[in-house]
Chain A
Amino acid sequence: MDPYKIREDFPILKRKINNNPLIYFDNAATTQKPKQVIDAINEFYRNHNANVHRGVHTLSQEASELYEDAHEEVAKFINADSMEEIVFVRGTTEAINLVAYAWGLWNLKKGDEVLVTLMEHHSNIVPWELLSRINGFKVKYADVNDDGTLNYEAFENAISNKTRIVCLPQVSNVTGVVNDVKKIVKMAHEHDSLVLVDGAQSVPHLPVDVKDLDVDFLAFSGHKMLGPTGIGVLYAKREILESMEPFHGGGEMIKDVTFNTVTRRCSISWNDLPWKFEAGTPHICGGVGLMAAVRYLENIGMENVRLHEKMLTGYALRRMQELEKIKIYGPRDASSKCGIIPFGIAGLSSHDVALFLDHYGVMIRSGLHCAQPLHEKFKLKSSARASFYIYNTREEIDRFVEVLKEIE
């Protein structure tokens, strides 16, 4: 893949910030959008906009087909069996909440355990902690090693026959560490526990095959993989989705609502999958934009995306170690992680570092990255985080290191 050619598809990368060329290293927060995605959204609103399903007119048929095609495209992208296993949601957070409330609320009880890790994004902690207040189950935290990798031994020891669901990120949003999901799935399934994988930082960056991983749930966001904000995906095995209660109630997710004049109650039957979980008018153009993003990534090839990011990460790690006052957190081996590098500079807060880089047009994130427990484990008040994607180049890393040298 040629990142210089790819860059031509991203209008925003031509911008200057404070008279410097924009260097966008905040891809773990959100990615920039290629013109193919922008054009797909534009084209939808210009020529095909209508509400989906149960409309007989031409535009509604077109919108429905596009929206369903988007589900098909995503299913193919992660090797799901069919689009019935693909539920469109607002993002990873909503996908996890869907599992918590449509599965957990009905299946977890006092005495049960939900096992998460200390490297979790808050979105895979808070829904379970909230639900545990209602249902009384216990949320257990598997430890991570000092280098930020998952402690598999601790994980194995923490799983028991009380564990009903295991939740983990495939890739940490702080360190970029890639977890061995297959290994965890095997451990969990041996204890009849389900597995929910937060794929927000993995699906955009590596080939993900839900059948190969054998995960029960996979959650990810469109905007972190070139798509628009407000659209995300929950993959779940068909039989699990069929056994689950709906998340939200309303139009679209029902087949029939019939009023019984004797009991004066309504009896309701749910719609087919995946619509049972997509109440109300969905984010149709978000789905269309996500389809364009998936097609864009498929054209590049996810193996190529992974290789490019590994090259960039390895190069950045080497160059950053030239700096005297820098401390890089997490593993320094590019093959064990995705393109995320958390770091600190002695004497400066992460926000100072980010604002200094911003002066030179380099965008990075600073703070806790919604992963406070992991920062507490590292005894850090916050961290600066550079994260790469398909349009980033070695020259941008050189510039980034030059600016960091100036701050030192």
Chain B
Amino acid sequence: MGVIEDYVARIEETCGEEKDFIVIFKYERKDEAVTKILRKAKIKKSISRIIFELTFQNFSFRLYGTGKAIFRNLKDKSELKRLLANLLS
């Protein structure tokens, strides 16, 4: 999981019935992370080039130009880490 440590600063898990994971990329590498993800995932929709609605390996998620992403409907954190590793490698 080295690639996650390279790019990810924090992962916040939201509370409530539907658990979302908010991934915050390292400030100094956020642009690189966003570029990598946009290259790998398919863009479904973009709002003002600020929010990107993306799909990757049958999962939908949202990426923000500020270097943050929200992943929903994932089984657990390990599934998130697997996706992130593939997106960022």
Contact = CB atoms under 8 A, between A and B. Distances in A.
Query: Do A and B interact with each other, yes or no?
Result: yes
B58 interface: no
B16 A356 contact: no
A407 interface: yes
Contacts of B16: 367-368, 372, 375, 381-382
Top-10 shortest CB links A-B: A355-B64, A359-B50, A359-B66, A368-B16, A355-B68, A351-B70, A368-B15, A367-B14, A381-B18, A18-B66
Given A18-B66, A349-B70, A355 B51 contact: yes
A406 interface: yes
A367 B50 contact: no
A356 B51 contact: yes
Interface of A is mostly: helix
A372 B14 CA distance: 12
A352 interface: yes
Contacts of A382: 14, 16
Contacts, number: 45
Interface string B13-28: 0111110101000000
A381 B73 CA distance: 14
B88 to A, nearest CB: 19
Contacts of B62: 352, 355
Contact of B47 (A356, A358, A367, A375): A356
Interface in B56-73: 62, 64-66, 68, 70, 72
B78 interface: no
Contacts of A381: 16-18
A359 B70 contact: no
A350 to B, nearest CB: 9
Contacts of B66: 18, 355, 358-359
Contacts of B50: 356, 359
Contacts of B20: 349, 351
Contact of A352 (B15, B18, B51): B51
